[in-house]
Amino acid sequence: MNDEICAIVTGGGRNIGQAIALRLQQDGFRVFVLDVVEPEVESLRADAALVNLLDVEAARAAVGAIVARHKVTCLVNNVGLVAPAPLEEVKLEDFERLMNLNLRTAIICAQIVVPEMKRHGGGRIVFNTSRVTKGKLDRTLYSATKGAAQSMARTWALELGGAGITVNCVAPGPIATTAFWQNNPPDAPKTKAITDAIPVGRMGTPEDVANAVSFFCDQRASFVTGQTLFVCGGVTVG
């Protein structure tokens, strides 16, 4: 095992996850992407693993193989599904799927990575959550998983702070990704209401989110833990 610092980004093959992975590369991390799709950007492909993170044993094996060979000091729990639906149409099978991918994956990864972070003297864990924890129509399941992630992060911050491991959340607001437009059709009145209400007057970009993640992953951010930073263009202010 060499001394290069490494990061794991779940769901880093597209959109916000890929922007986070690229930013961490720029920050000096060797980045390992875990996703069901190959990253679109060439620089991320060599260390990317195609894995279905809903498969517990496959997820454990993928993370375990990385920490066995590399000094992982950063874990970004980014992977997630949305499954929008009004309350009366929520499917229980979607409940299990979202809880398992959006939350269980983070626990699986952390249980493998944290002992290694402790051995190396500390580390950084960052959750990509969402402004939907403040409330949004048709997001019963998604908001439940993201709210739980923020709560879980605060618990981990208390448990791990003494080991030099910080745990924080970045909560994006309206971000212009393919996933956003799939779940918010551009011509829908609800979508127009969302975009018109952004105080800074524009949609966010994946790079806006990556900037915030970069801050929390920095060694100089060692006195910040248990926090949620909303990267939302001011949507959550009011």
Domain with residue 200: its CATH number is 3.40.50.720
Q: Return the SS3 of 169.
A: strand
pLDDT tens, residue by residue, 70-111: 999 999 999 999 999 999 999 999 999 999 999 999 999 999
In this prediction, residue 183 carries a pLDDT of 75
The catalytic site residues sit at 142
Q: Is residue 212 part of a domain?
A: yes
Give mean pLDDT, residues 146-166. 98
In this prediction, residue 209 carries a pLDDT of 98
CA–CA distances in Å: residue 208 to residues 19, 113, 203: 9, 26, 10
Q: Is residue 237 part of a domain?
A: no
Closest of 186, 229, 231, 226 to residue 207, by C-alpha: 231
Q: Is residue 139 part of a domain?
A: yes
Q: Is residue 222 part of a domain?
A: yes
Structure tokens at 203: 């949609």
pLDDT for 180 beyond 90: no
In this prediction, residue 9 carries a pLDDT of 98
Range of the domain at 178: 5-231
| Helices assigned H by DSSP within the chain | 15-26, 42-45, 56-69, 92-99, 105-119, 140-160, 178-183, 189-196, 206-217
Q: Is residue 160 part of a domain?
A: yes
Give mean pLDDT, residues 115-130. 98
pLDDT tens, residue by residue, 183-237: 778 888 888 888 898 999 999 999 999 999 999 999 999 999 999 999 999 999 9
pLDDT tens, residue by residue, 20-48: 999 999 999 999 999 999 999 999 999 99
In this prediction, residue 3 carries a pLDDT of 77
Q: Is residue 18 part of a domain?
A: yes
Q: Is residue 236 part of a domain?
A: no
In this prediction, residue 1 carries a pLDDT of 66
Q: Please count the structural domains in the chain.
A: 1
In this prediction, residue 145 carries a pLDDT of 98
pLDDT for 143 beyond 70: yes
- Strand order through the sheet with 123-128: 48-50, 30-35, 5-10, 71-77, 123-128, 165-172, 228-231
Kindly give, in sequence order, each residue whose CB lies less than 8 Å from that of residue 141, ignoring residues fewer than 6 positions away: 83, 85, 90, 94, 95, 98, 99
Q: Is residue 238 part of a domain?
A: no
